[in-house]
């Protein structure tokens, strides 16, 4: 009987010691996120030494599809933000053609708040976690070309290539 009590006590101690590790894993911001207004989507990853936060802008829609924002599409809008307090990262946020000192706070497993201030002007955006499948579908729709006018000199130069294609039945 004493063996069982010791085993139960050891199991209880081990399970409580594992809780911080499980909580840290559950609190990871890595994943796909969409702004609450539905106009911006980002993919958040842990970067650098694994504690820094990076976010790549993967989709824009509605009023957020401005020329300034389109320049940042598929680029890092947050790169290497340093961990501050628990579930808070501090760094520079790039959006709308501007950069601002900001912080990213994870309020829950499915809710992030991004705040940035520049010259006394502050902006806050809330994001909700979305699934990878929904994110890819939304990104594909957002990547649909918009009618634009380009000058030939603005287009990248491509080297002509010959490609052989063989079809078999």
The per-residue pLDDT for range 55-104, each reduced to its tens digit, is 999 999 999 999 988 999 999 999 999 999 889 999 999 877 788 999 99
| Residue 42 within a domain | yes
What are the backbone dihedrals phi and psi of residue 146, each rounded to the nearest 5 degrees, phi first? -105, 140
Q: What is the mean pLDDT of residues 153-166?
A: 49
User: Would you state the pLDDT for residue 96?
Assistant: 75
| Residue 5 within a domain | no
| Residue 4 within a domain | no
pLDDT at 1 over 50: no
pLDDT at 163 over 80: no
pLDDT at 150 over 70: no
Write the DSSP symbol of residue 128.
E
| Residue 33 within a domain | yes
User: Would you state the pLDDT for residue 31?
Assistant: 95
pLDDT at 40 over 60: yes
Kindly provide the residue ranges of all beta strands, DSSP E only, lying in 20-120, ordered along the sequence: 31-35, 40-47, 52-60, 76-83, 88-95, 98-108, 111-118
What total of structural domains would you count in the chain? 1
Give percent above pLDDT 70 in the chain. 62
pLDDT band at 131 (very low <50, low <70, confident <90, very high): confident
* Domain at 82, CATH number: 2.40.128.520
Q: Give the whole-angstrom CA distance, residue 83 versus residue 129.
A: 20
Task: Give the domain extent around 100.
Answer: 27-143
| Residue 51 within a domain | yes
| Residue 125 within a domain | yes
């Amino acid at each position: 009987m004493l063996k069982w009590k010791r085993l139960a006590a050891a199991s209880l101690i081990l399970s409580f010691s594992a809780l911080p590790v499980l909580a840290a894993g559950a609190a990871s911001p890595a994943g796909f996120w969409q702004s609450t207004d539905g106009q911006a989507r980002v993919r958040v990853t842990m970067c650098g030494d694994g504690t820094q936060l990076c976010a790549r802008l993967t989709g824009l829609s509605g009023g957020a599809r401005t020329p300034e924002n389109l320049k940042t599409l598929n680029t890092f809008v947050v790169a290497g933000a340093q961990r501050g307090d628990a579930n808070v990262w501090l760094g520079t946020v790039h959006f709308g053609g501007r950069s601002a000192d900001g912080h990213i706070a994870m309020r829950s497993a499915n809710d992030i708040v991004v705040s940035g201030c520049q010259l006394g002007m502050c902006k806050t955006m809330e994001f909700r976690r979305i699934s990878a499948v929904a994110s890819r579908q939304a990104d594909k729709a957002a990547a649909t070309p918009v009618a634009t006018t380009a000058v030939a000199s603005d287009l990248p130069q491509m080297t002509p290539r010959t490609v052989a294609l063989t079809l078999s039945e």
